[in-house]
């Protein structure tokens, strides 16, 4: 409990009345998320409706020295919404307005609480869409704050590549714009990309201007199964090197496929499997799919989806993979690993870590966005079992060490939060101290999501 908390709550309650909530149920929800960490509750939750209200909360929290933790949909994997030091959770989910859509310029501006699903539903009649395709229900503000990506990164890039500008509220309450709607700019420091991936440690994103894309003329989905995961990953590398019109290329191992069949009531082959989607003109898609089928010469089975509905069903079970994994041990979230390596290193990295998993008792289904070298193991362990916990943490640490040695990163898309802090000194070296200097300059009182990414 902070010494000035009572005074702060009194001030906030006078302004926000019933939108300042201190009930246990709401505080627990805002201090849990999808990570394997035990909940860490905020002292209170404020439901905001505008950037100006966010500014007023930050001014009050700075005055009283109380931490602030931004909250969108609560789907973070690495504990970004946890409040280990207490404080005020600022819930931006009610800031869900689509401010403008500029069809001719292929961009839009949205409030931070808009979800990607809601945006694409709004865009349906325009022939445009926003391409970042996560497995989670997430807000666009949260996606920018964690530099999220997903299944379509191989074609469209991550949030880093798709955000043109943002409105951000700084720790002192100042509201700034980080850029314009122009597709490029050389005007000073790139504050947009400084804020993307900052996980609420430098400011709170309240509005975003995003790039949009035309819905492709044609798309085709295929699933192919392999005898070994090495055959599958080598096929990924060859497909990328051949320059095919890949939109998504996803991998699941045998354990994951078994989990998917059980959870989603499907009858898919329980072997290492690739989901592949090609998009473009009808002729180019057909040509590239035929080339891909020839390329996948080690595949035991290569099956094209025969309709858009069949393709949608296949991608739906892929998006449910995390929940299918957790269903193998109900009630256990497990550690979701998140390394990303250069494409050429992907087969060796996956093979090496599965050899380590085989020496333990841990169930670890594997799934990944292998088109960009990013894959996940869900390490299912009982946190009350010391032996299981030690094995799971050993697998996680070993995987991160080998990924960094291969020129990769400890986190491809989930962010750092609480979970990856210990690995940043090895990955970033002295650059981590530069980040600390930026943090101290912009947030001298360290009220912005303290304890996330690094400690001061």
Question: What's domain 98-214's architecture?
Answer: 2-Layer Sandwich (3.30)
Q: Is the pTM here over 0.85, yes or no? A: yes
> How does pLDDT run across 129-151, given as a tens digit for each residue?
999 998 788 999 999 999 999 89
For position 135, what pLDDT does the model report?
76
The model's pLDDT over 16-30, given as tens digits with 9 standing for 90+, comes to 999 999 999 999 999
- Could you tell me which of 54, 40, 73 has the C-alpha nearest to residue 174? 54
**Residue range 210-237: average pLDDT?**
95
- The Cβ-side half-sphere exposure at 456, using a 13 Å CA radius, reads 16
38, 217, 220, 236 from 287: Cα distances, Å: 50, 14, 11, 18
In terms of CATH, what superfamily is 218-405? FAD-linked oxidases, C-terminal domain (3.40.462.10)
Residue 336 in this model has a pLDDT that exceeds 70? yes
Total number of residues shown for the chain: 456
Domain extents in the chain = 5-91, 98-214, 218-405
Is 90 exceeded by the pLDDT of residue 223?
yes
What pLDDT does residue 243 have? 87
Give the whole-angstrom CA distance, residue 248 versus residue 246. Answer: 6
Mean local confidence (pLDDT), 207-228: 96
Tokens of 250: 């996803």
Domain 5-91, architecture per CATH = 2-Layer Sandwich (3.30)
For residue 3, what pLDDT band results from cuts at 50, 70 and 90? confident
pLDDT tens readout for residues 407-423: 999 999 999 999 999 99
* CB proximity list for 186: less than 8 A, separation 6 or greater: none
Position 324 scores a pLDDT of 94
The alpha carbon of residue 189 and the mean position of all alpha carbons in its chain are separated, in whole angstroms, by: 25
Distance of alpha carbon 154 from alpha carbon 418, whole angstroms: 27
Range from 88-92, 140-144, 240-244, 309-313 carrying the lowest mean pLDDT:
240-244
Mean pLDDT of the chain: 95
pLDDT tens-digit readout, 425-441: 999 999 999 999 999 99
pLDDT of residue 2: 67
Gap between the Cα atoms of 276 and 298, Å rounded? 16
Q: How confident is the model at residue 289 (pLDDT cuts 50, 70, 90)?
A: very high
Axis-axis angle for helices 254-264, 308-319 (nearest 10): 110
Distance between CA atoms of residues 430 and 426, nearest Å: 9
Alpha-carbon distance of 96 to 176, in angstroms, equals 19
Mean pLDDT for 328-357 is 95
> Tell me: the pLDDT tens digits for 34-57?
899 999 999 999 999 999 999 999
Q: What is the CA radius of gyration of the chain?
A: 22
What backbone phi and psi angles, to 5 degrees, belong to 25? -60, -45
Is 1's pLDDT higher than 60?
no
Cα–Cα distance between 417 and 215 in angstroms, integer? Answer: 34
CA 452 – CA 71 distance, rounded (Å): 14
Query: In which band, very low, low, confident or very high, does the pLDDT at 152 lie, cut at 50, 70 and 90?
Result: very high
Q: What is the pLDDT of residues 248-267, one digit of tens each?
A: 999 999 999 999 999 999 99
SS3 letters for the chain? Answer: CCCCHHHHHHHHHHHHHHHEECCHHHHHHCCCCCCCCCCCCCCEEEECCCHHHHHHHHHHHHHHCCCEEEECCCCCCCCCCCCCCCCEEEECCCCCCEEEEECCCCEEEEECCCEHHHHHHHHHHHCEECCCCCCCCCEHHHHHHCCCCCCCHHHHCCHHHHEEEEEEECCCCCEEECCCCCCCCCCCCCHHHHHCCCCCCCCEEEEEEEECEECCCEEEEEEEEECCHHHHHHHHHHHHHCCCCEEEEEEECHHHHHHHHHHHCCCCCCCCEEEEEEEECHHHHHHHHHHHHHHCCCEEEEEECCCHHHHHHHHHHHHCHHHHHHCCCCCCCCEECCCECCHHHHHHHHHHHHHHHCCCCCECCEEEEHHHCEEEEEEECCCCCHHHHHHHHHHHHHHHHHHHHCCCECCCCCCCCCCCHHHHHHHHCCHHHHHHHHHHHHCCCCCECCCCCCCC
CA dist list (Å): 189 to 8, 60, 178, 199: 35, 29, 9, 19
Taking residues 212-229, report their average pLDDT.
96
């Amino acid at each position: 409990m902070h010494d000035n908390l009572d005074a702060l709550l009194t001030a906030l309650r006078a302004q926000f009345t019933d939108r300042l909530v201190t009930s246990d149920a709401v505080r627990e929800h805002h201090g849990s998320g999808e990570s394997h960490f035990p909940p860490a509750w905020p002292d209170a939750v404020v439901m905001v409706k505008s950037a100006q209200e966010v500014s007023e909360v930050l001014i009050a929290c700075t005055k009283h020295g109380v931490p602030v933790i931004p909250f969108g949909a609560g789907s973070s994997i690495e504990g970004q919404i946890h409040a280990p030091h207490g404080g005020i959770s600022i819930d931006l989910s009610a800031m869900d307005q689509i401010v403008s859509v500029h069809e001719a310029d292929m961009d839009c501006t949205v409030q931070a609480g808009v979800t990607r699903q809601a945006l694409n539903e709004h865009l349906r009649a325009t022939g445009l869409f926003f391409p970042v395709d996560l497995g989670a229900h997430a807000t666009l503000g949260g996606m920018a704050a964690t530099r999220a990506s997903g299944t379509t990164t191989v074609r469209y890039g991550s949030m880093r590549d798709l955000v043109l500008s943002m409105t951000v509220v700084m720790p002192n309450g100042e509201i700034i714009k980080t850029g314009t709607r122009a597709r490029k700019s050389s005007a000073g420091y790139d504050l947009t990309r400084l804020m993307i991936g900052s996980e609420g440690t430098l400011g709170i994103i309240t509005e975003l201007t995003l790039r949009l894309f035309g819905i492709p003329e044609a798309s085709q989905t295929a699933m192919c199964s392999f005898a070994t995961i090495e055959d599958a990953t080598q096929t990924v590398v060859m497909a990328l090197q051949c320059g095919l019109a890949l939109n998504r290329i996803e991998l699941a191992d045998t354990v994951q496929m078994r989990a998917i069949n059980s959870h989603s009531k499907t009858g898919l082959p329980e072997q290492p499997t690739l989901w592949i989607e090609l998009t473009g003109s009808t002729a180019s898609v057909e040509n590239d799919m035929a080339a891909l089928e020839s390329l996948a010469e080690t595949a035991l089975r290569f099956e094209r989806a025969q309709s858009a509905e069949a393709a949608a069903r296949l991608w739906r079970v892929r998006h449910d993979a995390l929940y299918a994994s957790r269903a193998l041990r109900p009630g256990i979230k497990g550690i979701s690993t998140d390394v990303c390596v250069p494409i050429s290193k992907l087969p060796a990295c996956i093979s090496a870590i599965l050899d380590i998993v085989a020496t333990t008792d841990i169930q670890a289904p594997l799934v990944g966005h292998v088109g960009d070298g990013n894959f996940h193991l869900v390490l299912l362990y009982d946190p009350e079992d010391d032996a299981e916990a030690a094995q799971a943490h050993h697998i996680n640490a070993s995987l991160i060490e080998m990924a960094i040695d291969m020129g990769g990163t400890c986190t491809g898309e989930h962010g750092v939060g609480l979970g990856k802090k210990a690995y940043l000194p090895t990955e970033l070296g002295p650059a981590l101290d530069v980040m600390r200097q930026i943090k101290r300059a912009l947030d001298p009182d360290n009220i912005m999501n303290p304890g996330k990414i690094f400690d001061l």
